[in-house]
Every structure is written in C-alpha cells, then in structure tokens.
Structure 1
Amino acid sequence: KTYFLCSYLIFHVLQSIVPCGLGGSGKAFLSTSSCPKVCIVGSGPAGFYTAQHLIKARQDVEVDIYERLPVPFGLVRFGVAPDHPEVKNVINTFTQTAKHSRCSFYGNVNVGKDVTVDELQGAYHAVVLSYGAEGNRRMGVPGEDLPGVYSAKDFVGWYNGLPSCRELKPDLSCETAVILGQGNVALDVARILLSPLDILKKTDITQPALEALAESRVQKVLIVGRRGPMQVACTIKELREMVNLPGTRPEMVTADFEGVSEALKDVPRPRKRLTELLLKTALDAPGDKELERRRNAAKVWGFRFYRSPTEILADPGRSRTAGIRLAVNRLEGSGDAARAVLTGEVEDVSCGLVISSIGYKSLPIDPAVPFDSHRAVMPNSVGRVHQAPGLYCSGWLKTGPTGVIATTMNNSFDTARSLLEDMDSGALDVSPAKPGSQEVSSLLEKRGVRPVTFSDWEKIDSLETRRGDACGKPREKLLSVEEMLKVARA
C-alpha cells in the first residue's frame, strides 16, 4: 500500500512540474491547463523570431503560428533576392523553431477571414500580430496606373514566386527602365533586370521570370531618388554588388556630387564608407582592368539624385508608358534630416518601364484591432498594442518597413520580452485555462478550412528541391496555392 501510495503521489507531483509540451513524437503529449498559450499571426522573420525567443525564455510556453499561405517564411521566401542565397540560411533556424515540441505551424489560415482576432484572443492568453507589410505605397501622380508601371513589391513577388503575383507578366521590351527609390529593394530589382542569365539560372528565381528576362530588351536602368548621395538608402553591400555586376557599367551625373566630398568628414563611418564608394564609382578614373571591363559592358545603370516623379507619360495612344516627368529638387538641411524642396524645374526621361520602390505598407487585419492608417502601423509601446490587453505586434507591422532581417530579429525579441514581462508581472493573466489550437481547429473545421502543418510544408519543400536539382537550381517553386495544397495533401 505504501509503495502504490508513494508512486501515486510522485506521479501527480511530476505532472504538476513537467513543462508543457515535452516528450511525445516530436510534439506535446502532456499539456496542463496552466501552460501559457501564445498565438502568432504571420510566419515571416518577425513571427519566427518572436516564437524563438518565447520558447527559449520560458519552458512552459506553447506557441502556435498561423500563416495565410500554405508555405512559411514570408519575405525570406518571397522578398529576398534569388541571388542572395546566404540570406535565406535563416530558414534553417526557423525550421528548428517550427519543429520544437512546443511550437506548431498552421498554414492556409487567413486570420481576419477564416478566424477573427477576437476568436484567437478567446483561445489564447496572448496574440502577437506579425503579418508584415503587404500593401503598396502609391506615388500619387498622374499615369501611375498605365501599363508598364509596377510596384517593386509586385515585381519582386513575380520573380520570387509569390502566388498573388504570378500573373504579372511585366513587359520588358523597352530599352530603358526607371526605378523610383534608392533602397536595397530598388537595387535588387535593378540587379535582376541587368544580371547575366548564367548567374540567374543558378538561383531559385521562377522559371517564368527567367524566360521573360531571357527575352528582355532592357539595357539601361536609372535608379532615382528625391534627395542626394548623402541620403541614399541602400547598404554598401548592395551598392558594391551593382558596381561589380558583370556586363554592366555605371553612368552618373557629375553635378549630383558637388560638395559631397567636403561634407563627409562629419558623418558616421557606415555612411562615410557608402558615400566614398559612390564617389569613387561616379567620379574616379577607373584603372586599366576596370576601364576594359566597362568598355565591354553592354548594359548601363546609374543613380539619379534630386529628382521626384510628377507624372508618368503615356505613348500617343495612351496604351502604355513612354516616359516619366521628374521634378528637380534641392536640399534644405543636411544628413538624414535633409528635406527635398522643389525648384520648379522638370525634366522628361524616355522609358517603357517604371518600377516604384518607395516602400511597403501594412494593412489593417480586423476592424476591431487598433490601426494607425496614417503611419500604416499598429499603435504600440515596445510591441504592446495600445488599448488592447493581450495583443502584441512585431516586425514591420510594429515599426514600418525599415531595416534588414537582423533589425527585425531585434525588434521581435523586444516584443517577446514585453510579453514575458507582462506574464511575470501579472499584467497578462495566464492562470485561466485556455484551449489554444484545439478551439481554433474546431472553428476552422466547421468553416471548411483545412490547415497545412509543417510536415505538410516539408512535402512541398521536398518536391521543390527535387525539381530544382533536375535543372541545377536550389529549388523550383510551386507558383499557385492550388499546386501547394495538392502536394501538401498528397
């Protein structure tokens, strides 16, 4: 009797202290009602970094990640340039998080449509919105809806296999393309337009994009910004790649660089190095080897500074883009705070392709959730959504579309820390039992929605990599949701 009584007591003591979700065949077999349950909406870098920090910081937190598409990883899959495979290595870290015993992935679930944020808050102790910035910022100029004008977001989605962009079919039959904006995305687009096919064939660029680029007649790309060389928004790595891009040569306007050398002594080192490379590319006489390379280059690129779009010009039949009218600016102030002011001068540039890379923007997910439509972000303090207890945000939805993946990592960790602090302080009550995914799965089943699990995604991943192997690429992506679901459910 004593033996069985002791065994009974030990069993129940262990049951009360064993962390949630440990053991089993890779997933939880024991989940007590006291386990804090967190839901994350969005499976891009912000979502995965938030999940990673929560799981590492507390041994009892269970995290469920919901994603609108059947495939995870967001902008790592659909935003990173095909010729930057090293940036995509973060997918390995995200995969480890997704396979953790206290983490589950639910793809093919459109939050705001298939299930509401309010319903998620009823099922979880905390909800973190990390769905990014999938809207386009419009230029607000006449003619921007003409054929031949595209947003960088859609153009990047087209060559990266985003299902909603697969029908884009951009017309690349013109000689000159103009890109508005001078950030990393603008340079990615310029590089893809001008890169030799032999380079692109070895990447995971989509086959339709590769075929279109093989027929492209684009020979010149102008990268236009409203301010000057001291305010250019790209990183030195991206600029160096443009400078060294095989088969191309730079063409700059010397007058754009007046006074820049003198202003360099007082700027931070990263900005100084970037501007020095710009100056060297634009003004210095190249050495013999570089001179020979430039002479043999068939394609041209260049920055155009102090210019703002005022109108997209149409051909005589108004059937497509024939050019762009640019206002000439001058700067007031200096450094990053410098402001572009119109001079009253304009100039017209002939081109058949205009790509607007002036920024992404977040969109509201649910009328009941606070949203700052002016700034296109969720109003928050260190990730805590204002006037919405238990609701958090991370990534571009929190900050706006700024920075690189490392920036997103840090801001997501900050949100996770805020959530954990609220758990520890009692500001977030995690004592009541919450059903978590069990309740959401029941709701989705009633609504005819069948989620895609991470193991389902691995079937898609396996097929894509096999298809890529067959043609010497890292992967050949499936381009439609229907194809993805067919493979996931095979």
Structure 2
Amino acid sequence: MHQIAIIGAGPSGCFTAQALAKLMPGARIDLIDALPVPYGLIRYGVAPDHQGTKAVIRQFERLFERQGVGFFGHVRLGETVTLEALQGLYDAVVLATGLSVDRRLGVKGDDLPGVLGSGAVTRAFNDYPDTAPVAIGEQVVIVGNGNVAADLVRLLAKGAGEFHGSDLSETAARQCSDVRRIDVVGRSPSDQAKFDPVMIRELGRLEQAAIHVHGLSGEGKIVEALQHLEGHDPQDATREIHFHFGWTPEVIEGTDRVTAARFRQGDARLVLPCDTVLTAIGFEGERPAADAEGAIAPGLYATGWLKRGPRGTIPENRADAQNVAARIAADLADVAPGKAGRDGVLALVPGAVHYDHWQRIDAAERADCPEGRVRRKIPTT
C-alpha cells in the first residue's frame, strides 16, 4: 500500500487526509504535528466563543476513529525528524504547516511594547501551549477590517457572563477584563470592508458595550449590518466600541510603550489615545514554490495557507485540499508502493503522542472544565 505523510494536523492537513482517504482507500495516511494534540488552527485559532466553527473537529475525528489515519504528535520537523527522513519513509509528503507570523504594520512604532498581532493574541486566548499571557490595557486600537478584527472586538467587549459555552480560560478572561474602549480602524471605506455581515450583526448582541460607527458610506450588506449597530447602547454598558473607516496607519506613538495611534485620510489626521494596539492585517512567512496543484517536487506537496498564502476560510481550504489530493492520487498511480511509512516512523520516533493519547487529554480537559465552559485546555506540553 502507498504511504502518505501530512505535516500539520490543522484543518488543511485534515481536509487533505479526508480527500486522500476517499480517493485512495487502500493508502496508509499519517498526520504528523509539532504539538501533542491535533486540529491546529481550529483548536488554537478559532475564537474560543465560536464553538460552532470548532465543531468541524467532529468530522475529523472519523479520520482517526474509522478510517485508520494515524496521528504522530509532538514531532517537530527539523528537530525530532528531518524532511529528508520522512521522504525516505513515505511515497508522498504533504506540507500543511500554515503561516503563523503576524504581518507588521510597517510604520514607525509598530515594535513598541503594547503592539500585538492578532495571531499572538488569539493563541494566548486559546491557551496555546507555553504561550505567555498578553497584556491588554483599557484603551485598545484594533487595526483591520476583517473577521479576525471582528473576533477581537467581540472577545474584548464581552463581560464575564457572556462566555458561557466557550472554552475561554479564566486566565484569558482576565487578560481582557480591563478594556473600556475599543477603536476599530481600517483602510477601506465601509462598503469595502472585509467583515462578514453575520459577524458584524453578532456584535449587536453584546450586553455591556455601546457601539458607534463613524464614516459610513456606500451601500450593501456590510453597510446595512453596520447601520444596525450604530446606537447599540445596553443599560449599564461598561465598554465603548468605535468603528472608523478609510484611515491609513501613519505612526504608533510612544517611548517605552504605546500611548497613541495616528492615522491619515488625505490631509486629515485621526489620533487615538491607547495603551494597546492589536493588528489584524494578516499573516506572513516563507512559502515553498508550489504549482497550482500543490506540487513542489516529486513526492513533495504543499496545501492550505502554506501553498496559497494567508487567505480563505476553512471551507475554502477544503476545496484546495481536495485539489492537492487529486494531484497526489494521480502522481502515485504510477509509483509502486513499498516504503516503510508508519512502521518506520514508529521506530524513528518512539516517544510520539498518538491518537489514543490525545483522547485521554481530551477527556481530562472536558472533565476539568469550570462551570460554564466546555473544557479547560492544558496550556503546557
């Protein structure tokens, strides 16, 4: 049988395994991850109060529990095992490691203490292993006009009682408990903002945040959703949210720490006092040279953000994974099986974490969850 390794057990890796299992039911497929737990971005990148989105994990569980896909966790590429070693053991190796470096603003002061990328914040809020807590102050500026920015707004604006049914830890909740004002600033005019209108309408259910929208223009579903937010003012609101559109970052002010963020719009300037700036403008990192179907070299492929760049939703990653899987299946049709695959990795990495180990971790996290939460993640490796 053919042996296939997928490096990265996040959504792109799991979708690729899913597609390959359907196209090549006789193949042996292994998901290999640097963390001791599977599911990557779904577990640590999706907002902790969006459990509906995280529910895609249930379909991935079938890979391991019914379709014979293997899991090797706590295996770091380049440290625990080399890419060359895996290529020697498998007929095909797929890189699905994603991109996790927050893109910088590219203005003076963007490296000051108090400037944080959305990826770093989301990982902290999701108890990514061995991640230091983030310090969120009272006055927060969020730069970005997409769904990640909307996630940050919602998480920072919620009161303690609004996280029922989430997996937000007590530590993460304390990190954003001091917030009193949030300014959301984007370069685009409001009718070109990248927010999903559903995400915007969700903000209208916030119980402790008054919302003000500045500079609305144009028409469309996003503008309509924003119009409905204007004037949202719950009784006894403890936080304010202000949306601003069409402003370009100019400088982050401060000496030892952020004190203000300055933006420009033509000759006009907008100066927002703040002690925290959160950037939600995407991710970056080195990507291999892969063709449209994910092929890098014979037997080596890339999928997901590592292949396409940091764009697209989880469903869009599914379509991309299916295309890459189809290419792999076509290529392996002409390759005679015979490599060691899983047996070789078991011998090479005897200390790897396997799926049954993950099931015990999962059960322990669910059993230990505080009232109102669905789990308490183990924050160390």
Shorter-normalised TM-score: what interval?
Answer: over 0.9
Match for 1:71: what amino acid?
V
1:228 aligns with 2:128: no
Kindly state the Cα deviation for residue 344 of structure 1 after the two structures are TM-superposed.
Answer: 4.6
1:327 aligns with 2:231: no
Match for 2:354: what amino acid?
T
Match for 2:306: what amino acid?
L
Deviates more, 1:66-75 or 1:409-418: 409-418
1:275 corresponds in structure 2 to: 223
1:346 aligns with 2:269: yes
Kindly state the Cα deviation for residue 466 of structure 1 after the two structures are TM-superposed.
Answer: 0.3
Kindly state the Cα deviation for residue 76 of structure 1 after the two structures are TM-superposed.
Answer: 0.7
| Structure 2 CA distance for aligned equivalents of residues 171 and 187 of structure 1 | 16
CA distances 1:154-178 after superposition (whole Å, capped 9, x unpaired): 011111111242x133142x2x210
1:257 corresponds in structure 2 to: 216
2:340 corresponds in structure 1 to: 435
Kindly state the Cα deviation for residue 124 of structure 1 after the two structures are TM-superposed.
Answer: 0.6
Match for 2:371: what amino acid?
C
Match for 1:477: what amino acid?
K
CA distances 1:389-435 after superposition (whole Å, capped 9, x unpaired): 111111111111212211111111111112112233x2xx2x14111
| Structure 2 CA distance for aligned equivalents of residues 294 and 168 of structure 1 | 30
| Structure 2 CA distance for aligned equivalents of residues 225 and 164 of structure 1 | 32
| Structure 2 CA distance for aligned equivalents of residues 252 and 274 of structure 1 | 12
TM-score, structure 1 normalization: 0.74
1:396 corresponds in structure 2 to: 305
Higher RCO, 1 vs 2 (CA within 8 Å, ≥6 residues apart) = 2
Task: Name which one, 1 or 2, has greater alpha-carbon Rg.
Answer: 1
CA contact (8 A) 1:135 1:363 kept: no
2:61 corresponds in structure 1 to: 95
1:415 corresponds in structure 2 to: 324
Matches within 5 A, 1:278-289: 278-282=226-230
Kindly state the Cα deviation for residue 149 of structure 1 after the two structures are TM-superposed.
Answer: 1.1
CA distances 1:107-145 after superposition (whole Å, capped 9, x unpaired): 000112221222211111111111111112111222222
| Structure 1 CA distance for aligned equivalents of residues 206 and 291 of structure 2 | 42
1:108 pairs with 58, 69, 74, which one? Answer: 74
Kindly state the Cα deviation for residue 231 of structure 1 after the two structures are TM-superposed.
Answer: 1.6
Inter-CA distance 220–475: structure 2 relative to 1 (3 Å threshold) = same
Tell me the secondary structure at the aligned position of residue 312 of structure 1: strand
Match for 1:322: what amino acid?
T
1:187 aligns with 2:150: yes
Kindly state the Cα deviation for residue 89 of structure 1 after the two structures are TM-superposed.
Answer: 1.0
CA contact (8 A) 1:72 1:107 kept: yes
| Segments ≥4 residues shifted beyond 6 Å | none
1:475 aligns with 2:375: yes
Kindly state the Cα deviation for residue 234 of structure 1 after the two structures are TM-superposed.
Answer: 1.5
CA contact (8 A) 1:362 1:396 kept: no
| Structure 2 CA distance for aligned equivalents of residues 459 and 298 of structure 1 | 40
| Structure 2 CA distance for aligned equivalents of residues 142 and 183 of structure 1 | 23
CA distances 1:430-455 after superposition (whole Å, capped 9, x unpaired): x141111222333335xxxx100000
| Structure 1 CA distance for aligned equivalents of residues 302 and 22 of structure 2 | 19
CA contact (8 A) 2:147 2:195 kept: yes
Kindly state the Cα deviation for residue 241 of structure 1 after the two structures are TM-superposed.
Answer: 0.8
TM-score, structure 2 normalization: 0.94
Matches within 5 A, 1:77-226: 77-165=43-131, 167-172=132-137, 174=138, 176-214=139-177, 216=178, 218-226=179-187
1:456 aligns with 2:357: yes
| Structure 2 CA distance for aligned equivalents of residues 233 and 164 of structure 1 | 32
CA contact (8 A) 2:3 2:337 kept: no
Kindly state the Cα deviation for residue 246 of structure 1 after the two structures are TM-superposed.
Answer: 1.7
Kindly state the Cα deviation for residue 190 of structure 1 after the two structures are TM-superposed.
Answer: 0.8
C-alpha root-mean-square deviation of aligned residues, in Å?
1.8
- Size of the alignment, in residue pairs? 381
CA contact (8 A) 1:36 1:62 kept: yes
Kindly state the Cα deviation for residue 57 of structure 1 after the two structures are TM-superposed.
Answer: 2.1
